[in-house]
Amino acid sequence: MKNIKSVRIGLRATVQQQSLIRKAAEIRQQSITEFILQSAYLSAKETIMDQRVFFANNKDWKAFTDALEFPPKYLPDLQKLLSEKALWDE
The total number of structural domains in the chain stands at 1
* 50 domain-assigned: yes
Per-residue model confidence as pLDDT tens digits over 63-82: 999 989 988 889 999 999 98
Per-residue model confidence as pLDDT tens digits over 17-72: 999 999 999 999 999 999 999 999 999 988 887 777 778 899 999 999 998 998 88
pTM (two decimals):
0.54
Closest C-alpha to 37, from 64, 89, 45: 45
DSSP output for 6-66: ---------HHHHHHHHHHHHHTT--HHHHHHHHHHHHHHHHHHHT------HHHHHHHHH
* 7 domain-assigned: no
Q: Could you tell me the residue range of the domain that residue 47 belongs to?
A: 15-83
Task: Look at residue 1 in the predicted model and tell me its pLDDT.
Answer: 54
* 73 domain-assigned: yes
* 8 domain-assigned: no
